[in-house]
A and B are shown apart, each in its own frame.
Chain A
Amino acid sequence: METPLYVGIDLGTTNSAAAVFDGERVSVIRNAQGATVTPSVVRLDKQRRMTVGTRARRFVEQDAANTATEFKRLMGTGRAIEFPGAGVSRKPEELSAEVLKALRQDIQDQLGVAVERAVISVPALFELPQSAATSEAARLAGFARVELLQEPIASALAAGWRAEDDGAGTWLVFDLGGGTFDASLLETRDGLLRVVGHDGDNFLGGRDFDWAITEHLASQLAVVPRRNNPAHAAALRALRLAAEDAKIELSRGERAQVTLAQPLVIDGRDVDVDLELTRATVEQLCAPLVDRALDVCARLLSAHGLGAGRLAKIVLVGGPTVMPMVRQRVAARLEASLADGHDPMTLVAQGAALYAATAGLDGRAATTAAPAGRQVWLQYPAVSADLTPHVVGKFVGDEGPDAPAKVTLVRNDGAWSSPEASVAPDGTFLTSVSLLPRRACTFQIQARSAAGALVAVTPPALTIVQGLTIGDPPLSRTLGVALANGHVQVYLERGAPLPARRTFTHHTVETVAKGSSESVLRIPIVQGEMGQADLCRLVGTLDIGGDAVKDTLPTGAPVEVTIELDRGGRLSARALIPSIGQVFEHVAHLLVPDAAPEALDAALRDLRRQLMELRADAFRHQLGHVIEKLDRIEARMSEAERDIDAAHGGDADAAQRARRALLDIDGTLADAELARKWPQLDEEARRIAITASSTVGMHGTDAERTLLNEVLAAMDKARKDKDAPELERQMRLASRLTSAAFNRTSEAWEWYFEDAASEISRSTDLPRANALVTEGRRAIERNDTPELRRVVNALWRLLPADSEARKKAFDSGVR
């Protein structure tokens, strides 16, 4: 039996790498230049010749227009990258495909295998359109099947795999890449890796270090080039490459000379560059960026109740973490030791290769050799933390005298064989094997007929690797449907194991007229952690037009929506409308929205105005903690402003970063707004606690009472910590328990009925609403609660959705 070949690829913003795992050892693949990392750079010259990697990177300065870099940051935006020399444009995923092709070729050159299956890592905070673009890049590069894995999980898997002591405890993966920063908290116990939580900044990376140094260098030139002036772009690019080289040099030395062979041309003048840069200056320039990353870590630790000094280990990943200043600052602030002996540049690729084994994704193409002997379908974990995992199998084919009746699995070292397992009449059997720690074990399958004769089987053996493992890949961001009232119905929570599927029934908020192309039922699919739709990202829509429905859908018609994600995080959605028996499946995959600089300007103005109001108010009421929060928000606004400036100069990447930052600031302002309303919130919390205690106390079940006690304790803690979002979350839980208990009482539905009946003048179908009120009154007379409940639900569906809320919910047509 051939040794397995598991392939992992780190498709990075600045650099990419590939690694392979054979069941026992991980090796990093070297490219034609002998390097373990390949720059993610693609060049297309006038003759349309393509060069990738180190050779392409040499042209970044001299032929920037035809040399594309950092296209990963535009993945999923649908923005094409122009190559004026060749007169063509390419999508970011097409360029990523070229990098993947180069890595695939390197594997073939080194191992002689054209791999077809691999695991590709993506940032933890990638959204669905970005993940979909990555899968597409892999397809274009010739991969038949890929799975995506979040980078921090890959790093932790690689770091944990080698840990002698099983690395038990809580780990922090500090991954500062070229363009993104991820902080992940992981826990290993009994050989199982669990993601406790993660946080990050999709737009903080080594390139920000480079820009900070570049701007410092630029400020010392005779003519200062500006990022918001497209005519200065070439000069800034040259300066930035020099800054990058100087930064790397200063990781080892104390001083570096920044000298350019050619003078820069700025506003028609030749400007010579011959500057000195010291390590101290670079550290001073980069320290605020490192601190920003450390703030993210502190937020993550405190969200999980961990103080500094509570971490078992910190794993550093990414080029910028090689800087001594970064290492010192991280270790000092988080008060934990750094895990040694890992290559921060290839750790992610190594982890991806290990994960390919967990997913049973052998890189080799499936063999087409004719099966010899009786075929057996097997189910077992390709990698197992458990030393005695189960093996489940089923023999295919007719019963007969040579049908297998008993099965034994024999380990290749001959030192162990399983007890004989009986084969059931339907050909199935269940047994378990014994693994050797941290080894790949192969087991021969010995099948015998009822008469005791050996039966040849295909496959004849199976291999299981013992080691650290992670179960199903978790969903990185909560996914749901935006409702017409502006809220989000959560379908799949962050951390849900993939693949996953969930169905909910919604109701239409207006009539969809048969045959009318203007009448559209829109079901927006959103991703994000906020309960309000407008603070989440739209990742797809399911549009059902009047011209597609067999019959007119009245207001309140039920729609069963199913959302499904496969292991790679690919989204599919389906809406079933039972009343007309039709299913709609076409989801328009949205792109990351384009960020026009003017729109960003307007959004920033709005947020500034909000910030001023909140600050004035906070000062008036002397709310120190709110003022601090607002100061931090203001610092982020200034950064966003710089990016918007660069966006005006044509920097699409900066525009995306600004868009994202503004969205985050909006969410943080909403939190600050909550904090400002603390006295009201606190009062409301008391009221809810009292109502919950009496209602659940009287009508709740034992379990509900126990749960309420936990919720009340959590509310107390949130009140002490002045944690407004957490208090709100716990208040929602308490309200839910209250309504569950209240709904059990006989008067609950009468109360809901009277409330809805008082609002029927606003209903979308007054005659129907009137009829329902009559039916409701009769149900009350008869004491018929189920009927009353039906009437109330029908009445609720007739009440109109607030048009403002609906607009914010991406024009959702369901509730």
Chain B
Amino acid sequence: MAEPRSSAWLDDNPFFVLGVSPDASRIEIEREAQKLLGMLELGFADAQTYRTPLGLRPRTPEAVRAAVAALRDPYRRLIAELWARHAPPPAPPVEERVAPVPPPSGLRRRLGWA
């Protein structure tokens, strides 16, 4: 059985996937998701990745749909907010790369995910 990935709330956090703040209203979240799905469908370059404290991650339509579904559920939104608010600031994009970049050295360990 695959082990649960505890770091999922940092790199798959719905707020990071959608690029919205934890204070975003429900309508803002839906609007952003709909925009991102459209941009991904038409191949917009700036929709392909999103920033997380662990670096850039590739953004997929599945991830966007899952993110918006998670934020529709008040309980899951609460957990996502908790993680998004307590997370260190997103890692600055060191260079434009689509593939996930390795996290800055020592960050995983500091966060306790090493």
Contacts and interface: CB of A to CB of B under 8 A. Distances in A.
Interface of A: 189-190, 192, 194, 377, 379-381, 384-386, 388-394, 426, 428, 430, 471-472, 474, 483, 485, 487, 489, 495-497, 499-501, 504-506, 700-704, 706-707, 736, 740, 744, 815
Contacts of B82: 703, 706
Contacts of B30: 192, 385-386, 471
Given A192-B72, A500-B66, A389 B34 contact: yes
B102 interface: no
Contacts of A194: 72-73
21 contacts: A190-B26, A192-B26, A192-B30, A379-B42, A385-B27, A386-B34, A390-B38, A392-B41, A392-B42, A392-B44, A394-B42, A430-B39, A471-B30, A471-B69, A471-B72, A472-B65, A499-B62, A703-B9, A703-B83, A707-B79, A744-B114
A190 B2 contact: no
B111 interface: yes
Contact of B42 (A190, A388, A393, A489): A393
A702 B69 CA distance: 26
Contact of A430 (B6, B35, B68, B86): B35
Nearest to A469: B30
Contacts of A740: 4, 6
A341 B79 CA distance: 40
A706 B9 CA distance: 14
Interface in B9-54: 9, 25-27, 30-31, 34-35, 37-39, 41-45
Contacts of A377: 42
Given A190-B27, A192-B72, A703-B9, A497 B65 contact: yes
Contacts of B86: 702-703
Contact of B2 (A392, A505, A703): A505
Given A392-B44, A394-B42, A386 B37 contact: no
Contacts of A430: 35, 39, 44
A190 B27 CA distance: 7
Interface of B: 1-2, 4, 6, 9, 25-27, 30-31, 34-35, 37-39, 41-45, 62, 65-66, 68-69, 72-73, 79, 82-83, 86, 111-112, 114
Given A380-B38, A390-B34, A701 B26 contact: no
Contact of B44 (A428, A700, A707, A736): A428
B4 A483 contact: no
B42 A389 contact: no
Nearest to B87: A703
B62 to A, nearest CB: 6
B31 A390 contact: yes
A98 to B, nearest CB: 36
Nearest to A394: B42
A392 B39 CA distance: 6
A532 to B, nearest CB: 14
Contacts of A707: 79
A72 B89 CA distance: 55
Contacts of B27: 190, 192, 385-386
A501 B62 contact: yes
Contacts of A703: 9, 82-83, 86
Contacts of A702: 86
A474 B72 CA distance: 12
A192 B31 CA distance: 12
Contacts of A499: 62, 65
Given A377-B42, A385-B27, A487 B1 contact: yes
A393 B39 CA distance: 8
